[in-house]
Amino acid sequence: MRNCLKVLPLALASLPTFAAELSQQDLGVTGALVSSCAGLATGAFPIEGSLFDWQVGKSSCNAASTTTPGQQLTASGSYSQATPSVQADSHGSARYGSVGMYAHFRANASAGFAAAESTAGWTDTWTLMPANPAQIGQNAVVSFSVHLDGELDGLPIGNSYTRIGSQVWLNNAPVWDQVFRAQGQGQGGYPFHQVIDQDVNFAVTVVLGTPFELGIFSRASAGTAGAGPNWFSEATSDFASTLTWQGISGVTVGGNAIGYTLSSQSGVDWTVAAAPIPEPSMALLLGGGLLALALRRRG
């Protein structure tokens, strides 16, 4: 056990620097982030990519960001209190093109809107150049997709919600009609279970030859759907395996497909699919401080 613990500080030192909760606004023109939190919220649902609605001083968050393609980030958050009882935790992973998110909570509803959530995503600055130079300056529709794979579960006790959402951002603003969300509630006697394994299609309008910022931010969350009564609720949103970029399916002008080349600030080739985030790994255990606990138990 002693030899293992000597290695731990070196492993931790190699991880990205962690900070408080991050949002899309913190990335600038290019970058990827993961932000995982748990605590007591207000009961609102901020859009994916924005900060969550935590009550002041009643949450625990960790987050990380990067501008390095291929670098995988991890973050975890947990919150607990004895009376009224709250146990909530979340973790997530992110890199350009792939993210994973997980949130779980169990709480007495008299505590208020207990919740856990993990937000992850990326943004990059693109320039699309048409094969026909005469089309520079014209509007074009860029179609692309992501693959979403995970499960939503609400136990048949109390009143809980479980939710997954993905929001497209263009030039530092959400594109309101380019969003995917799924949600359900577990209530007294009625469980909720939904498996999601599908491609989700999006499209945005851009100007050919002009740089633009394009991002996708997603959030897995679970929490109390109705605060007040003295009963327990429990739910999980498990998308820890991945949400993965599937590439560009087409660029059209006036409904007609065109040839084009793409350059990006990050250097990532967004015309092709990204590799999925792996299952929760040693890096995630290190990021959440769980490895030290596991080693201590082994000793």
> From first to last of its 299 residues, what are the pLDDT tens digits of the chain?
323 322 223 233 334 445 589 999 999 999 999 999 999 999 998 999 999 999 999 999 999 999 999 999 999 999 999 999 999 999 999 999 999 999 999 999 999 999 999 999 999 999 999 999 999 999 999 999 999 999 999 999 999 999 999 999 999 999 999 999 999 999 989 999 999 999 999 999 999 999 999 999 999 999 999 888 888 999 999 998 779 999 999 999 999 999 999 999 999 999 999 988 776 544 444 444 443 333 333 33
**Location of structure tokens 């931790």:** 12
Contact 123, 96 (CB under 8 A): no
Residues 6 or more apart in contact with residue 12 via CB below 8 angstroms: 286
**Location of structure tokens 């693109």:** 126
Kindly list the distances between the CA atom of residue 159 and the CA atoms of 50, 270, 288, in Å, as whole numbers in the listed order. Answer: 25, 41, 28
Through-space distance between the first and last CA atoms of the chain, rounded to whole angstroms: 6
Give the distance from CA 29 to its chain's centroid. 18
Please tell me the distance from the alpha carbon of residue 109 to that of residue 47, in angstroms, as a whole number.
Answer: 24
- Element holding 164 (H helix, E strand): strand 159-170
